[in-house]
Amino acid sequence: MIEYTPELLRNFLFAILIGVFIGFEREYAKKKNKESTLGGIRTFILISILGALAGYFSIFFNNLTFFLSQFLVLSLLILASYFIVNRKSKKLHITTGICAILAFILSASVFYGFGKFAIALAILITLLLSSKHVLHKFIRKITKKELQDTLKFALVTMVILPFLPNKTFGPLNILNPYHIWLMVVFVSAISYVGYILIKLFG
């Protein structure tokens, strides 16, 4: 028997908010660009409710089949929608479809104990979607050298640092390769972020 606990109501509210955040931005983009897309705020709220139900019942019945079946149905509906839209407009935009899948997964993940993370990620996704023109304008300004510098910074931060030993060496045990390189990353990050801000805002 289903118990209507405050936690259950909170989880459904979180799931609905995910659809509201992403759907509001998609609705605005659809009206602004005057494009025929998958859906707007109502569609995304319904997708989030579907994801919430899929997540809840998969836990309630301890069976992942319910979640997977609903995910498959949603995916087929998205593919059918894109097939119809593409036949009419000859313009294929997959952003809204990916957002719909993300809204479904995030809404379901709320019931697996990732409510705050799902809300935060939904806000970040909405922010990313609303920054489309800023990002495109920024990318058009990037030179080849700047792209190479970005890759070098990624190499310093994400490739070299994780593999350095976090142990002290030397006569007084004061040399730690990980901490030394972390300082290099910190200084590089300050310089890199400052450059990005100048590039964006002048």
Report d(CA 134, CA 139) in Å as an integer.
9
| Confidence (pLDDT) at 88 | 64
CA quadruple 28, 34, 35, 37: dihedral, nearest 10: 40
| Confidence (pLDDT) at 159 | 84
CB 167 within 8 A of CB 176: yes
Candidate from 34-43, 149-158, 161-170 with smallest mean pLDDT: 34-43
Count Cβ atoms below 10 Å from residue 164 Cβ, excluding itself.
Answer: 14
pLDDT band, residue 161 (cuts 50/70/90) = confident
Counting other chains too, the contacts that 61-64 makes at CB distance below 8 Å and 24 or more residues apart are none
* pLDDT for 78 beyond 80: yes
CB 17 within 8 A of CB 34: no
* pLDDT for 182 beyond 70: yes
Count Cβ atoms below 10 Å from residue 174 Cβ, excluding itself.
Answer: 9
Candidate from 80-94, 146-160, 180-194 with smallest mean pLDDT: 80-94
pLDDT digits (tens, 9 = 90+) for 6-51: 888 899 999 999 999 998 888 887 777 666 567 788 989 999 999 9
* pLDDT for 121 beyond 90: yes
Mean pLDDT over the full length of the chain: 84
